[in-house]
């Protein structure tokens, strides 16, 4: 197979784009897809200061490197969850990456807040993953706002977005369907949130990481029973193989034609949001979810 652009031997085949690329043309393709994704929904500009949530996985590291190469002002934020045998390795990968590329990094240890995930897990009578996600989002938002960042970026890719969309559709969750997309505007004490890799598949971010020599953390979290939405991802992989390009078309079609319909629908009992009595974080109750978890951790 020859590169679709320069006719040199191709190293990456992309049936969904009816193309194959050599290493250098693939990296150009990746850049163009990121730029297109940013431009289409006006995610941010070169004047913004962007806090990039970096887990140590390939997606968020690829995102941070590409944004810095494109001249955006980026700072990394890593949440150290305090999980033995996992968090140290993920954090070390992120620290080495930032040092190698001269990028600034903030690290937040949840243990310092009494929220080491293994202890939270011990206290909960249910799986810790959703609470862990809540704690991560809390610190993404809090640190972005407190430290004056104008945008918070995460490494969610097209496969993550499709799997989430599909799950929202299976439940016809109108509120989630109205909100899902590459951009969430800042409002009511929440930071502006963006997902600049929304046009790129996991396969594509993996190739990018490989070709740019990014060392990344691959071990799954010891507390999750495998990747989230596995069934949905398998279903979509089969569909994509039979109909190359479907995934991106479906997601773009949702953003352009599906989502507006959910956004126009009358809001169903939307709760009013106010600052948490203890920490000021936006919540629909008196005390926010994370402060309630902290209280639970203090109870004997
Ligand atoms: P996940 O929910 O694990 O697929 O992660 C989705 C995105 O959330 C990643 O691409 C990162 O941008 C961010 N993220 C997840 N875990 C962390 C972490 N421990 N520290 C910083 N960012 C994270
Ligand atoms: Fe949070 Fe696994 S990363 S429970
Ligand atoms: Zn609170």
pLDDT, tens only, 9-50: 999 999 999 999 999 999 999 999 999 999 999 999 999 999
Residue 181 lies inside a defined structural domain of this protein: yes
- Cα 29 to Cα 17, 22, 259, 277: the distances in Å are 10, 10, 27, 48
**Binding site membership of 210 for ligand 2 (Cβ less than 6 Å):** no
Residue 250 lies inside a defined structural domain of this protein: yes
Residue 161 lies inside a defined structural domain of this protein: yes
For residue 270, pLDDT over 70 is answered with no
Residue 24 lies inside a defined structural domain of this protein: no
Residue 183 lies inside a defined structural domain of this protein: yes
Q: What's the confidence (pLDDT) of residue 232? A: 80
Highest-pLDDT range among 27-31, 170-174, 227-231: 27-31
pTM of the model: 0.95
Alpha carbons 198 and 293: distance in angstroms, whole number: 32
**Cβ pair 183, 41 in contact under 8 A:** yes
Alpha carbons 151 and 16: distance in angstroms, whole number: 30
H/E element, 12: strand 12-14
Q: What's the confidence (pLDDT) of residue 188? A: 80
Q: Which of 224, 290, 293 has most ligand 2 atoms within 8 Å of its beta carbon, as the pocket-test mutant?
A: 224
Confidence of residue 127 (pLDDT cuts 50, 70, 90): confident
Residue nearest to atom 10 of ligand 1 (CA): 155
Q: What's the confidence (pLDDT) of residue 290? A: 97
Ligand of minimum distance to the alpha carbon of 279: 3
Residue 232 lies inside a defined structural domain of this protein: yes
Alpha carbons 95 and 228: distance in angstroms, whole number: 26
Ligand of minimum distance to the alpha carbon of 290: 3
**Cβ pair 288, 281 in contact under 8 A:** yes
Residue nearest to atom 2 of ligand 2 (CA): 221
Q: Which atom of ligand 2 is nearest to the CA of 127?
A: 4
Containing structural domain, residue 201:
37-261
Alpha carbons 193 and 183: distance in angstroms, whole number: 6
269 or 66, higher pLDDT? 66
CATH of the domain at 65: 3.40.50.620
For residue 269, pLDDT over 60 is answered with no
Confidence of residue 227 (pLDDT cuts 50, 70, 90): low
Query: CB neighbours of 56 closer than 8 A, spacing ≥ 6?
Result: 78, 89, 90, 91, 93, 94, 216, 217
**Binding site membership of 132 for ligand 2 (Cβ less than 6 Å):** yes
Q: What's the confidence (pLDDT) of residue 267? A: 65
Q: What's the confidence (pLDDT) of residue 226? A: 61
- In the reported structure, the alpha carbon of residue 18 is separated from the centroid of ligand 1 by a whole-number distance in angstroms of 30
Provide mean pLDDT across the span 264-289. Answer: 86
Q: What's the confidence (pLDDT) of residue 153? A: 98
Query: CB neighbours of 236 closer than 8 A, spacing ≥ 6?
Result: 159, 162, 163, 166, 247
Residue nearest to atom 3 of ligand 2 (CA): 221
Ligand of minimum distance to the alpha carbon of 124: 2
Residue nearest to atom 1 of ligand 2 (CA): 132
Residue 294 lies inside a defined structural domain of this protein: no
**Binding site membership of 228 for ligand 2 (Cβ less than 6 Å):** no
Residue 107 lies inside a defined structural domain of this protein: yes
Q: What's the confidence (pLDDT) of residue 75? A: 98
């Amino acid at each position: 197979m020859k590169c679709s652009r320069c006719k040199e031997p191709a190293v990456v085949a992309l049936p969904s784009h009816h193309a194959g690329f050599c290493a250098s043309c693939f990296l150009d393709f990746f850049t163009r897809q990121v730029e297109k994704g940013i431009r289409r929904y006006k995610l941010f500009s070169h004047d913004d200061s962007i806090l990039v949530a970096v887990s140590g996985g390939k997606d968020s590291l690829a995102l941070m490197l590409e944004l810095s190469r494109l001249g955006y002002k980026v700072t990394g934020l890593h949440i150290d969850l305090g999980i033995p045998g996992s968090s140290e390795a993920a954090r070390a990968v992120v620290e080495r990456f930032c040092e190698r590329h001269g990028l600034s990094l903030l690290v937040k240890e949840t243990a310092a807040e009494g929220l080491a995930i293994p202890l939270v897990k011990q206290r909960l009578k249910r799986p810790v993953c959703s609470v862990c996600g809540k704690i991560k989002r809390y610190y993404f938002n809090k640190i972005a706002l407190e430290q004056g960042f104008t945008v918070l970026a995460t490494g969610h890719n097209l496969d993550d977005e499709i799997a989430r969309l599909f799950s929202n559709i299976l439940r016809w969750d109108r509120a989630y369907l109205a909100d899902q997309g590459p951009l969430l505007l800042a409002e009511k004490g929440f930071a502006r949130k963006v997902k600049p890799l929304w046009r790129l598949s996991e396969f594509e971010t993996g190739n990018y990481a490989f070709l740019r020599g990014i060392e990344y953390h691959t071990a799954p979290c010891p507390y999750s029973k495998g990747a989230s939405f596995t069934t949905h991802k398998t279903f979509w992989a089969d569909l994509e193989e039979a109909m190359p390009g479907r995934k991106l078309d479906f997601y773009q079609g949702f953003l352009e034609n599906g989502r507006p319909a959910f956004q126009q629908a009358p809001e169903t009992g939307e709760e009013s949001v106010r600052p948490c009595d203890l920490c000021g974080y936006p919540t629909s109750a008196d005390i926010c979810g994370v402060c309630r978890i902290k209280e639970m951790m203090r109870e004997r």
